[in-house]
Structure 1
Amino acid sequence: MKVTKVTGRQTLVIASLIFGVLFGAGNLIFPVHLGQLAGAHWLSASSGFLISGVLLPLLALLAISITRSDGIYDLARPIGHYYALIFLVLVQATLGPLFAMPRTATVPYTIGFAPHVSVSANSFGLLIYTGIFFAIVYGLTVTEAKITDLIGKILNPIFLVMLFIIFFLAFIKPMGNTQTTPVTVEYTHHAFTSGFLQGYNTMDILGCLAFGVAVISAIKDLGIQDTRKISWTTAKSGTVGILGIAVIYMFLIWMGATSLHQFKIADNGGITLSQIADHYMGVAGNALLATLTSVTCLTTAMGLAAAFSEDLHHLFPRISYKVFLLINCFFSLLVANLGLDKIITWSTPVLMFLYPLAITLTLLGITSPLFKTDPIVYQVTTGLTLIPAIFDLVNHLPAVLQKTVVAQAMVGIAHHYFPLFSLGFSWIPFATVGFIVGNCVRLLRNKNKRVKQN
C-alpha cells in the first residue's frame, strides 16, 4: 500500500532503528575520553565532535537515500568498479575484524572486569572473556537467533535508563567545575578541530554507509516510495535518532571533563567510565553497567558480523556466509586480545585515511543531482582527496613506524606543501579543488558535445 505521510509513531520507530544502528562501544568511551582531554574547553571540543559524530552520519544516510544506492558499493560505483570494491572491503574490514568488532568485546571488559582483575591476570582474563563473547556472537549470528529483538526491546532500554541515572547523579552532585579543569596541549588552541578528529573514532559515518540501506528499506516497508519523501523521512527520523545520541555525547563529554577533579586522565575512556560508575553507584552499579554494556555490545557485534559476512559472501559467492562469519569472529578474537589501547592506536591511521574518502563520497552523493551523477566529478574529487588521505595515514602511524625515513620524509613534504595538514584537514582544499575541476571538465565536455551535434 502506498503511503503519503509517515505518522509520528513511525518516525520514532525509524529513529530508534537509526539509534540502534549507530550506538555501540565507541559511542561510550570516546566522548568521555574527549572530555578528559579537553577539560575546560569541553564545549568547543564537543562542537567538533558532534559534527563528525552526529551530523556527518546523518548526511551519509541522506546520500544513500538520494542516490537510491543499495550500499557502499553502489554509492562509490561512479568512481569505478575496482575502487568501489576496494573501498567496500576496507570499510567492512574496519567495521569487522580489524577494529570495530574487537572493540565491542574489549570495551565492556575494560569497563566492568579489568578494574577487578590483577594486572598479571588481565591478559588471561581478557582471553577468557573475548573467547566466550565471540563464541556467543558466532552461535547466535549463524543461527539467526531472534535474541536481538529481546535485547533491542528490553535490555538496551534498561542500559539507557541506567546510563541516565548516572547522568542524573552526576548532574545533582558533579565531581567538580568544568571551568577549572586542566586542558591538554592538543586542546588548548585547537579544541574544535581536535574534537572533530576524535569523532572519527566512533566510525559512525562508516556505519551509516554500510547499514544505511537497512534504514531506507525500513522506510520503504512503511509504503513510502517517492524519492523525495524517502529523503525527507530519512532526514526527519535521522534527526530524532541522532539527536538522542548527541544528548548522550554531551553528558558523557561533560562527565569526562568533571572527572578530572577526582581521577587522572586515563589511557582510554573505558577506564574513566568504569571509575565514574564506581564513584556514583559503587561496585554493584559498576557490575550492572558492565553486564548491560556487554549485552549492548553483543548486539552491535552481531550486526557487524552479519553485515561483514553477507557483503563478503555476496562479493565472493564461492565462500559461504558461515565461513566468512567464522573467519570474522576468529580474527576479531585475535585482535581483541591486543587490548583496547592498541586497537585504538592502530585504528587511528586507518580512520584518518578512510574518513576523508567517506566524507567526500557522502557529499558527492548528496550533491549528485546537481551534476547528474557524472563519474568525472566523482573521480577527480576522490582522486585528489586520496593524496592527503595517504599522507594523513602515514602521519598518524604508531611511533615505531612513524620514525622510518620514508614516513618522516612524507610527513615533512606534507607539512611544507599541504595547507591545513598540521590540523588534519588538508583533504578539504584538495577535495574542493577536485570538485571544482571535475565540474569544469564536465561542463566543457558537454559543451563540446553540443558543438559537435550542431
Structure 2
Amino acid sequence: MINMENEKKLTMKHYLLIASMLFGMFFGAGNLIFPIHLGQLAGAHWLTAGLGFLISGTLLPLLAIIAISVTHSNGIYELAKPIGNRYATIFMILVCLTLGPLFATPRTATVPFQIGIGNYINPSQTPIFLLIYSIIFFGITYWASSTPTGIIDSIGKLLNPAFLILLAIMFGFTFTRPMGTAGKMAASGTAYQDGSFLNGFLQGYNTMDAIAGLLFGIAIVSTIKGLGQRKSSHISATIFKSGALGIGLEAIIYLILIWVGATSLNHFPISADGGIAFGQIANHYLGLGGQIILAIMATLTCLTTSVGLSTSFSEALHNKFPQISYRTWNILTCGLSFIIANFGLETIIAWSTPMLMFLYPLAITLILLSILSPLFKRNSIVYIWTTAFTLIPAFLGMIESAPAIISKTAFAQALMHFDKMYLPLASYGLDWVVPALIGFALGLANYFTKGWLTTQMTQPNENN
C-alpha cells in the first residue's frame, strides 16, 4: 500500500519547474529550424499552416504524455504492450533508436553547428570543425545526463532561462522592426495554397515530438514522484497542468517563428532550410552580433534536447534490459550519436524521414487508443485491429519518402501506385487514417460483440 499521507502538495514553483523541463526537452533542433522554414513555404497562408503544425508539433506531444498518465504506464513498452509483447519491444526499440543515437540526438548537434558555424566556414573545413564541435557537444550531454535525478537542475535551472532570454532579444527586434507584411507573400506552390493546413501538419512530424512524448513520459513521471507525488491520479493531474504550461509556451514560440519566416520573404528568397533562413534574419537585424547570438541560442536549445533524449533513451532501455546499467546505455547513446553526427545534417534528415513516416501513424494511433482505452477497458483486441490496419499504409509511406536508391526502384514505384490508387488521402500523406479508423471500428465491434455474447452465455436461464 502507498502511504498517501506522506504525499507532498506541489506548489506553483514545482509546476513551473516541471513545465520548464518539458519545454527544454521538446524545444530543440527541429523546433528551431522547421517552423521558420514552414513560414517561408506557406507565405500568406502561414497561419493555417501554423495551426496544422501546432496539432502535430504541440497537441500530439501533450496527448502522448497524457496517454502515459491515463494508462498508468511506466513507459513506452507498457503503453504498447496490449498489442503484444513482441510488438511492444520492437516499437520501443525503433522509437528509442530514432530519438536516440540514430537520428534525433545526432541532429541536435548538427543543426546548431550548421546554422551557427557551418554557414560561415569553408566547406573543406567542415569535417574537422564538426568533429571538434560534436566532441564538446556530446561531452556536455554525457555529463548532464549522467544522473537522471539531476535533469531538472541541468535543463530547467541552467539552460532554459538563458535560451529564453536570447530568444526574447531576437523576437524583440522582429516585433519592433518587422521585415514586412506576411499576408501579402505568395506560398511556394499549390501544396501550400490549397493544402496549407495538412502540409503544416506533416511538417510537424519533423520535430519528432509526438514520439518523443512517449519516451519522455518515463523521466517526467520519475521526476514528479521524486517531488513527493505518489497517487497515480495526482501524478496524472500534475502532468496535465505542467504539460499545458510548457507546451503552451512552445506553441506561442512556434507561431512567432512561422510568422517571422513568412515576413522574411520581403527581403530574402525561400531558403533551402530553416537554419539558413534563421541566420539571414539574425544577420539582418543584428549583423555579426546576431550570428553570435544565433550560434549560442542554437547550441543551448539543442543541448537541452540532447540531454533529455539521452536520459530518456538510456532509462527506457535500462528498464527493459536491467542487466545493462544506465551508465552503459548512456555511454553508448552519446558515443553513437557523436559518430553519426559526423555524417552531416543532410544525410541524417534524408534517412530519418522514412522512419518518421512509418513510426508517426503507429504512434498517433497508440496515443489515441491509450487515451480512449477506458471506453474498452484497454482490451487488446481493439489495439490489435487498429494497429494491424495502420501498419501497411505506414510501411507504404516509409517506402515513398525513402531516398531515391529505394523509392525509385520498380518495386517501390508499384507500391506507391497502389497506395495512390486505392487508399484515400494518400495524396495528402495521410493514407493511414481511413484504414486505422476501419480497424478501430472493427476492433470495437469485436470487443462489444464478445462482451455481449459472454453476458448471454453466463446469464441465468430465467425459465429454469
TM-score by length of 2: 0.92
| Structure 1 residue 449: Cα displacement | 1.8
**Residue of structure 1 aligned with 2:85, choices 81, 85, 88:** 81
**Alignment pair present for 1:59 and 2:63:** yes
**Residue of structure 1 aligned with 2:156, choices 147, 152, 161:** 152
How far apart, CA to CA, are the structure 2 residues paired with 1:190 and 1:362? 25
SS of 1:138's partner is: helix
Structure 1 letter corresponding to 2:362: L
- Encode CA deviations 1:150-205: one digit per residue, 9 max, x unaligned: 55324421221111111121111111221222311221211000000000111111
> Which one is further off, 343-352 or 302-311?
302-311
Where does residue 255 of structure 2 map in the other structure? 250
Where does residue 410 of structure 1 map in the other structure? 415
8 Å Cα contact 1:48/1:193 also seen in 2 = yes
Of all paired residues, the percent bearing the same amino acid is 51
**Residue of structure 2 aligned with 1:439, choices 438, 441, 444:** 444
Pick closer, same or farther for the CA change 1:427–1:25 going to 2, 3 Å.
same
> Which one is further off, 146-155 or 417-426?
146-155
Structure 1 letter corresponding to 2:75: G
SS of 1:365's partner is: helix
**Alignment pair present for 1:400 and 2:389:** no
CA RMSD of aligned residues (A): 2.2
How far apart, CA to CA, are the structure 1 residues paired with 2:224 and 2:315? 21
**Residue of structure 2 aligned with 1:204, choices 202, 209, 219:** 209
Structure 2 letter corresponding to 1:160: L
| Structure 1 residue 288: Cα displacement | 3.0
> Which one is further off, 213-222 or 286-295?
213-222
Where does residue 192 of structure 2 map in the other structure? 187
| Structure 1 residue 104: Cα displacement | 0.8
Structure 2 letter corresponding to 1:65: S
Q: After superposition, where does 1:152-171 map in structure 2 within 5 Å?
A: 152-171=156-175
How far apart, CA to CA, are the structure 2 residues paired with 1:273 and 1:237? 29
**Alignment pair present for 1:47 and 2:51:** yes
How far apart, CA to CA, are the structure 2 residues paired with 1:147 and 1:163? 22
8 Å Cα contact 1:98/1:335 also seen in 2 = yes
**Alignment pair present for 1:90 and 2:82:** no
SS of 1:289's partner is: helix
| Structure 1 residue 332: Cα displacement | 1.5
Pick closer, same or farther for the CA change 1:320–1:238 going to 2, 3 Å.
closer
Pick closer, same or farther for the CA change 1:314–1:61 going to 2, 3 Å.
closer
Structure 2 letter corresponding to 1:328: T
- Encode CA deviations 1:24-59: one digit per residue, 9 max, x unaligned: 111111101111111111011001000111111111
**Alignment pair present for 1:101 and 2:112:** no
Where does residue 430 of structure 2 map in the other structure? 425
**Alignment pair present for 1:260 and 2:265:** yes
Structure 1 letter corresponding to 2:251: A
SS of 2:186's partner is: coil
Structure 1 letter corresponding to 2:395: I
- Encode CA deviations 1:302-355: one digit per residue, 9 max, x unaligned: 222232223223333444444433332232123212222222222111111111
Aligned residues: 454
How far apart, CA to CA, are the structure 2 residues paired with 1:215 and 1:139? 20
Where does residue 35 of structure 1 map in the other structure? 39
How far apart, CA to CA, are the structure 2 residues paired with 1:305 and 1:67? 24
| Structure 1 residue 139: Cα displacement | 4.6
Pick closer, same or farther for the CA change 1:31–1:320 going to 2, 3 Å.
same
| Structure 1 residue 433: Cα displacement | 1.0
**Residue of structure 2 aligned with 1:238, choices 243, 260, 267:** 243
8 Å Cα contact 2:17/2:152 also seen in 1 = no
- Encode CA deviations 1:354-394: one digit per residue, 9 max, x unaligned: 11111111111111111011000011111111111111111
Pick closer, same or farther for the CA change 1:283–1:443 going to 2, 3 Å.
same
Gaps of 5+ in 1: none
Q: After superposition, where does 1:128-139 map in structure 2 within 5 Å?
A: 128-139=132-143
**Alignment pair present for 1:327 and 2:298:** no
| Structure 1 residue 222: Cα displacement | 5.0
Pick closer, same or farther for the CA change 1:136–1:157 going to 2, 3 Å.
closer
8 Å Cα contact 1:274/1:286 also seen in 2 = yes
Where does residue 462 of structure 2 map in the other structure? none
> Which one is further off, 322-331 or 443-452?
322-331
> Which one is further off, 287-296 or 146-155?
146-155
How far apart, CA to CA, are the structure 2 residues paired with 1:322 and 1:151? 19
> Which one is further off, 290-299 or 407-416?
290-299
SS of 1:69's partner is: coil
Where does residue 375 of structure 1 map in the other structure? 380
How far apart, CA to CA, are the structure 1 residues paired with 2:151 and 2:226? 22
**Residue of structure 1 aligned with 2:281, choices 276, 283, 289:** 276
Where does residue 293 of structure 1 map in the other structure? 298
**Alignment pair present for 1:356 and 2:361:** yes
**Residue of structure 2 aligned with 1:316, choices 318, 321, 345:** 321
Where does residue 342 of structure 1 map in the other structure? 347
How far apart, CA to CA, are the structure 2 residues paired with 1:125 and 1:217? 37
Gaps of 5+ in 2: 460-464
8 Å Cα contact 2:24/2:304 also seen in 1 = no
| Structure 1 residue 2: Cα displacement | 5.5
8 Å Cα contact 1:159/1:289 also seen in 2 = no
Structure 1 letter corresponding to 2:59: L
Where does residue 175 of structure 1 map in the other structure? 179
| Structure 1 residue 429: Cα displacement | 1.0
How far apart, CA to CA, are the structure 1 residues paired with 2:115 and 2:59? 28
Where does residue 307 of structure 1 map in the other structure? 312
Pick closer, same or farther for the CA change 1:232–1:131 going to 2, 3 Å.
closer
- Encode CA deviations 1:269-322: one digit per residue, 9 max, x unaligned: 112112211221221232133124323322321222232223223333444444
- Encode CA deviations 1:232-265: one digit per residue, 9 max, x unaligned: 4332322121110011101111111111222222
Structure 2 letter corresponding to 1:162: L
- Encode CA deviations 1:385-436: one digit per residue, 9 max, x unaligned: 1111111111111123211011100000010000001101121111111111
- Encode CA deviations 1:75-130: one digit per residue, 9 max, x unaligned: 00110000000010001101011111011101111121112201222233222212
Where does residue 119 of structure 2 map in the other structure? 115
SS of 1:176's partner is: coil
How far apart, CA to CA, are the structure 1 residues paired with 2:376 and 2:437? 15
How far apart, CA to CA, are the structure 2 residues paired with 1:207 and 1:107? 18
